[in-house]
Structure 1
């Protein structure tokens, strides 16, 4: 007869948590520590990945400067998250759909959204929400976590169409505390829809430390409740992020359902440029600890050791980025100024309620003068 054992729910939690080990391929010195998991990337692809990461860092620096000059509106800095953002996108295909959060503009730019439109989005211009034909992106979601539900719906649509594509979405560690987060992964898991859900754990949901949000060892383990594969990856390691994303995509298009991926990373700047001061809730020691893990430094060391990267190549990328950003902001400046009448007509199709009809008439008259 089997021995009776006292049921210990806490031990069960600890057993599950012990399974989530941080997946890594490159250490902080740019050395391969997991040869068996090295992704199949050509030298040209490795250089292109680095090129996109450097370009994105420059874009972040210039966007912060443009914001301070009053030439951009809402902006959420991305420095420190290049491996999480760009390496995950690098594993996708053109036909895949991206449903970004407000910090995930770099991914949709590399997916085909023109830079000028990204700047117009920041300014709140409706043209910034109009992606060109064939560019499978939705506008960055401002409501925290809402993109998870949308991604579950898009993924189900792709499944019903038998499309060779996945729906990919991103949120932060704070977003994983939202109800929409659970609804999205639960629905996608139940439907076995081709979705990849990212939690970019950059340690602070605005000013709230991740440790205050959840007592769980990881955020990735939340996917277990939805019955979907879940991964805890070094989000400062571009090769590791690429590999887990590539694997998740292959499973999804093979009909095996969604994956939840937590990328452990850090944002070097403020939460947004709208008055956040990270020095009020982060210490210099914490900042320095993560600066030592910088994804660009790590990947640069790896490529330099292979003879694939040098200072001249990096400077060429930086100058190209500066020039293209300069031209894109000029193009954005040429966009016609928005009118209140356009706002009303864009937001409301068909018959307007009487109060908006009155307002529309008022503004049409003002704008005609």
Structure 2
């Protein structure tokens, strides 16, 4: 008989603070990704929504193709294509109200364009011109974020501040599966859940963090399961099913706006093209895998459903393609114009009020520019 088995022995019990603060069961994601297209639930989908999503998906596919072409022409320094992931991009923009904020990652230029941002302005940062390329406050779109996951704490901070001010605002933060391996991801989710901030986290799980497959990043059952550890619901959705993504994100946004707190949504999708134009995806994935995912293309899935419901015919499809071509032509023409750059813009949008150091540096640059201009006039 051990000491603990003796009558009247002391049995240590964890204090009450150890006990779960919430029931974890409702927070767990479903075993399979949520789907609408190809299921009986598709019959209840709003026809107008399907038409809008289709038009935006076709536009988005052409936008990705044109931006990729611009890199080959030297008009863009780099472009991370979201081809294959357009359903996530379009749905993310569609579920937000004008007063809400979008916090994109570097691959989410399409989401910014779908929210109303000028396509050229969306590419300015990737062009290497200056700053963000657009007024973040005007468009309610945070700067396209190149460092992994740093936009997530920013989204939580804005959402928490808006709630403290009494503003009816929701922040939707987008990140890739690779970003979930960053400390910023943990910090953002933890703060969001503790503060019950009105923020939605959308993880686009496209299978790879550049060349690192998901299995080498995490041993979790899914990325959506990570939500439980922070005390928020985790949702798993088919990221190529535009209607399902719109439905899940819409529910999460409404929940956040009504005071229900944050939600982590994992959209299972696939990056059809390389990480960027500088990447060789054939080094870490097989062509057969890519071809298998082509059979689950988000545009094809939606078009199949719409045609079977009598919502899409050849004329409608042609109109969507023509609108996309018109957008691509305008983008191509405007991106082929050399921008007029002002070196003094280096000091704009850094601080609301310039520091002494910035004022000194600005004056030094201005003097150098004036001297160079005078020298140029003398040499004519």
Q: Please give the TM-score of this superposition, normalised by the length of structure 1.
A: 0.87
Partner of 1:251: 255
Q: Which runs of 5+ in 1 are unaligned?
A: 5-14
Q: Residue 129 of structure 1: SS of its match in structure 2?
A: coil
Structure 1 pair 19–139 and aligned structure 2 pair: CA distance change class (3 A)? closer
How do 1:238-277 residues align onto structure 2 when only pairs under 5 Å count? Answer: 238-273=242-277, 275-277=278-280
Contact 1:116 1:329 in 2 (8 A): no
- Counterpart of 2:109 (choices 102, 105, 108) is 105
Structure 1 pair 345–268 and aligned structure 2 pair: CA distance change class (3 A)? same
Farther off after superposition, 308-317 or 326-335: 326-335
Farther off after superposition, 156-165 or 179-188: 156-165
Partner of 1:362: 368
Farther off after superposition, 156-165 or 49-58: 156-165
Contact 1:99 1:139 in 2 (8 A): yes
- Counterpart of 2:224 (choices 220, 226, 248) is 220
Contact 1:341 1:364 in 2 (8 A): no
Structure 1 pair 313–161 and aligned structure 2 pair: CA distance change class (3 A)? same
Q: Please give the TM-score of this superposition, normalised by the length of structure 2.
A: 0.85
**CA–CA separation in structure 2 for the residues paired with 1:124 and 1:286:** 33
Contact 1:341 1:363 in 2 (8 A): no
Partner of 1:75: 79
Residue 293 (structure 1) shift: 1.0
Partner of 2:7: none
**CA–CA separation in structure 2 for the residues paired with 1:82 and 1:342:** 33
Residue 21 (structure 1) aligned with residue 27 (structure 2): no
Residue 342 (structure 1) aligned with residue 345 (structure 2): yes
Partner of 1:8: none
Residue 313 (structure 1) shift: 1.8
Residue 327 (structure 1) shift: 2.0
CA deviation digits over 1:253-273, x for unaligned, max 9?
110101000100001001111
Partner of 1:292: 295
Partner of 2:306: 303
Structure 1 pair 337–190 and aligned structure 2 pair: CA distance change class (3 A)? same
- Counterpart of 1:205 (choices 209, 212, 228) is 209
Contact 2:153 2:184 in 1 (8 A): yes
Q: Which runs of 5+ in 2 are unaligned?
A: 1-10, 12-24
Residue 66 (structure 1) shift: 1.3
- Counterpart of 2:68 (choices 64, 70, 73) is 64
Q: Which has the larger radius of gyration?
A: 2
Contact 1:119 1:329 in 2 (8 A): no
Partner of 1:153: 157
Q: Residue 199 of structure 1: SS of its match in structure 2?
A: strand
**CA–CA separation in structure 2 for the residues paired with 1:276 and 1:249:** 35
Q: Residue 352 of structure 1: SS of its match in structure 2?
A: helix
Residue 221 (structure 1) shift: 1.1
Farther off after superposition, 326-335 or 162-171: 326-335
Structure 1 pair 271–69 and aligned structure 2 pair: CA distance change class (3 A)? same
Residue 18 (structure 1) shift: 8.3
Residue 114 (structure 1) shift: 1.1
**CA–CA separation in structure 1 for the residues paired with 2:156 and 2:44:** 29
Farther off after superposition, 260-269 or 71-80: 71-80
Residue 340 (structure 1) shift: 3.3
Q: CA RMSD in A?
A: 2.5
Q: Residue 221 of structure 1: SS of its match in structure 2?
A: helix
